[in-house]
Each structure stands twice: as C-alpha cells, then as structure tokens.
Amino acid sequence: MDAFENFLQKIAALDEKDRAATLIEQNKCCICGRCPTYNECMREQDELIYCIIGRSPMCSFEKKGCICPTCPVKEAIGLRKAYHCVRGSETEQRSALPVQKPS
C-alpha cells in the first residue's frame, strides 16, 4: 500500500467532523490559486484540492501548465498524478483504464 492509499484509508476511518477538518487542512495548503491554468471562474467558485474532490464541475479552461508537482499536498498525501482540475482526482486517474491503441 502506498502513501496515497494510506491517506484514503485514514480518511475513511474518520468521522464526518474530522474528515472535514482534514480536507480543510489540505485546502489551506493547495497552491492551485497560483497556477497559470487557474482562472477567474475557478476563483469565483472557490475551487481547490481537485486532487481529492475531482475535476472542476463548473468551469472550462485552457491548460496552461500544472503546478501540482510542486504542491506540499503532493508529498503529504502521496500524489503521483497532475492536472486534477482537468483529468480528475488522484483516485479517478489511478483507476482510469489505459487507452487502447487501434490494432
């Protein structure tokens, strides 16, 4: 089991209040607001921690780079993926099936 799977297991064992407190902690550390892809729509919706909650539900945007690899949350919870606002949460990206090449 890797660090992210440990994080998921820990979160699942918490009660609702402690789970919310943990997410607020990660929210405070999220650096999406400094990313060139982060736009006004995302800011207005106060969207953060896409790595945990999944892609942006409301906003459309251009990919201009992703700074997830430099985020402290990456180390803290063991992320391996990036561009979570576009591609989905860490869980979603890890469970996505590989694209089949046509034969």
Residues 6+ apart with CB under 8 A from 74: 51, 68
Closest to ligand SF4 by CB, 14 or 63: 63
Q: Which residues bind ligand SF4 (CB under 6 A)?
A: 30-32, 35, 37-38, 48-51, 66-68, 71, 73-74, 79, 82-85
Nearest distance from C-beta of residue 76 to ligand SF4, angstroms: 9
Whether 51 and 79 have beta carbons less than 8 Å apart is answered as yes
Shortest CB 27 distance to ligand SF4, Å: 8
Considering the complex, state which of residue 18 and residue 75 has its C-beta at the smaller distance from ligand SF4.
75
Backbone angles phi, psi at 63, to 5 degrees: -75, 120
